[in-house]
Amino acid sequence: MKAELDTMPSIAWWSSRDGSDEVFNQRWIAFTGAHFLARNIFNEWRSIHPADIPSLNLAMAALFATGETQRLECRLLDACKIYYRFDAQLRSHSLYGSQEEGFLIECAPIGACRDAAQ
pLDDT at 112 over 50: no
Closest by CA to 47, choosing from 111, 112, 105, 110, is 105
CA distance 31 to 36: 12
Please give the pLDDT value at position 54: 93
Give residue 117's pLDDT: 55
Which pLDDT belongs to residue 35? Answer: 53
Between 103 and 116, name the one with better pLDDT: 103
Q: How many domains does the chain have?
A: 1
Q: List, for residues 29-81, the tens digit of each pLDDT value.
A: 888 886 555 444 455 677 889 999 999 889 988 988 888 889 999 998 888 88
40: helix, coil or strand? coil
- pLDDT tier at 15 (50, 70, 90 boundaries)? confident
Residue 115 to residues 6, 78, 85, 93, 118, Cα–Cα distance (Å): 27, 11, 8, 31, 9
Q: Which domain holds residue 73?
A: 2-116
The pTM score is 0.75
Burial classification of residue 3, based on how many CB atoms lie within 10 Å of its CB (0-12 exposed, 13-18 middle, 19 or more buried) = exposed
Q: Would strands 11-16 and 22-24 be described as parallel, antiparallel, or unpaired?
A: antiparallel
Q: Report the CATH number that the domain containing residue 52 is assigned in CATH.
A: 3.30.450.20
Give the pLDDT score at 40.
46
Average pLDDT of the chain to the nearest whole number:
77
Q: What is the pLDDT of residue 100?
A: 58
- What pLDDT is recorded for position 51? 94
